[in-house]
Amino acid sequence: MSSRHTQEITLTKETILLSTTDPSSRITYANEAFCDVSGFSTTEMYGQPNNLERHNDMPKAAFANMWDTIQGGNSWMGPVKNKSKDGRFYWVNAFVTPIKNEQGKIIEYQSVRTHLDAKLKSVLIAHTKKYKPGKLPTVITIAPNG
């Protein structure tokens, strides 16, 4: 495995990655920060499925939970490990919300990803070492003082 695949991209606390997708999860917008961090240009991203950046360590069940939540009309928030075009990875705190028209129909999804708190990230990393790629538990309970 290339050392690129073990290199982390660290987001600053000011970094905001913003994207929108159509209801079938095809990317329709990506801000400059998202392009810079992911390594994909808007031309490469537009029309592609949003899982273009999914890291193999992330369990499919976590995304199933997210899709169940947002397709039900509710917002979803959680930590996510993504991969860049060149194979590096980055952790984000993701907030995904459905955008509805006047009739209440979901017309797009908006995803805002920000810096993930270092303490939470360290707990998640400790847990990821216990599991095979893609086999992380969907929910990790963290003690208030731990």
pTM reported for the whole predicted model? 0.81
CA 42/CA 21 separation, integer angstroms: 13
* Token reading at 126: 């400790």
Structure confidence at residue 104 (pLDDT): 95
Residue by residue, DSSP assigns the chain as: --GGGGPBPPPPTT-EEEEEE-TTSBEEEE-HHHHHHH---HHHHTTSBGGGGB-TTS-HHHHHHHHHHHHTT--EEEEEEEE-TTS-EEEEEEEEEEEE-TTS-EEEEEEEEEPPPHHHHHHHHHHHTTS-TT---S-----TT-
pLDDT in tens, the chain (146 residues): 445 557 999 999 999 999 999 999 999 999 999 999 999 999 999 999 988 888 888 778 888 889 999 999 999 998 999 999 999 999 999 999 999 999 999 999 999 999 998 888 887 777 666 655 555 555 544 445 54
